[in-house]
Amino acid sequence: MYKILAPTLFASLVAAHGHVTNIVINGVSFGGWDIGSYPYTDSPPTVVAWGTPNTANGFIEPDEYTHSDIICHHNATNAKGHAVVAAGDRVFLQWTDWPDSHHGPVIDYLASCGTGGCETVDKTKLEFFKIDGVGLVDGSNVPGTWGDDQLISQGSSWMVEIPKSIAPGNYVLRHELAGTEGGAQNYPQCFNLQVTGSGSDVPAGVLGTELYSPTDPGILVNIYTSLSTYVVPGPTLYSGAVSITQTTSAITATGTPLTGSGAASNAATTAVSAAETSEPSVESAATTALPTAALSASTGRPSTLRTATRKPASSTTRPATSATPSSGAQSGSTQSVYEQCGGANWTGATACASPAACSSMNPYYSQCVPTGV
């Protein structure tokens, strides 16, 4: 339980920005770590996101790159559950609103947890290999168009593909926004995945505390001067990483995280077909093609993102609905703590059983959170 923030956190909370609220796999949404309530309870719900007492959306500074906080954020602890994804499928990550003043790369890594599973793995032993890295996309106008500008353009969201060639097993997905304005700021977020498939690659990785150096070209950079190239921080992109065009994902069901390290099926939680969509009528009216000059670290060759579409945030993600009706849909009923109680198109109960109150997390999702904390 996280009752008190360590004093060392407060210096990094001044320019806080955001966090991932949920991830979506084949249309099924899995909740993230709710910084507004989970740090204040002794028994937070099981989610696929790693926990942190970082209740103010703080960041990691360059002088912390050799500290374990850079791995999955400040004092991060293992997620208690995981989601299943097939190699070759995609994971959609929804952030809170990201400020347009923030410019920098979007980077994704995987690290094998071994046979013991990610719920108990020692994070300091995880070795990460890069599967996505989008930095400077267009440098024609200072400060340029960056990976996180493309994230902002589609409602503060990002899609990453799990390489089809990797061996099945348990992995931590490390997703990160790295700010470069006014000094480097890193916002890592971690999620537990069980990857299925028939791949055989076991890519070499790098310890989280060795991913970056404060003097790396992609860290020590002035984005307010004209840049013709930019080297995305971190190790070279994994050879099996796949270039994709950014898109969004409809939410057609909510998922229940699985626990344990054994083989499992997605049937119980992801029995809905893939729903990565664009709204043609909206897109045709509000599409802006972005240049394709993102470079991967060390190789200098194009990285994973090529084009993005600019859409109103309301068209990027559809609200979550339960895969099977629950008591929340009954007229006059109340929802228990941490259950959904509202959001766009929500038709279930909007009242919460005491001692909880309905709190809006974003336009698509409201949740019953404990009161009196």
| pLDDT tens figures, 58-107 | 899 999 999 999 999 999 999 999 999 999 999 999 999 988 888 999 99
Domain boundaries, the chain: 7-324, 326-373
Q: What is the pLDDT at residue 9? A: 33
Cα distances (angstroms) measured from residue 287 to each of 24, 250, 290: 23, 18, 9
Judge if pTM exceeds 0.75: no
**Average confidence (pLDDT) over 234-248:** 95
Instruction: Decide if 165 contacts 200 (C-beta within 8 A).
Output: yes
pLDDT in tens, 121-162: 999 999 999 999 999 999 999 999 999 999 999 999 999 999
Instruction: Decide if 172 contacts 193 (C-beta within 8 A).
Output: yes
Is the pLDDT confidence value at 223 over 80?
Answer: yes
The CATH number of 7-324 is 2.70.50.70
Rounded-to-integer distance, Cα 18 and Cα 100, Å: 12
- If DSSP states are collapsed to H, E and C, what string results for 13-72? CCCCCCCEEEEEECCEEEECCCCCCHHHCCCCCCCCECECCCCCCCCECHHHCCCCHHHH
| DSSP-derived secondary structure for 81-93 | -BEEEETT-EEEE
Neighbours of 312 (CB within 10 A): 12
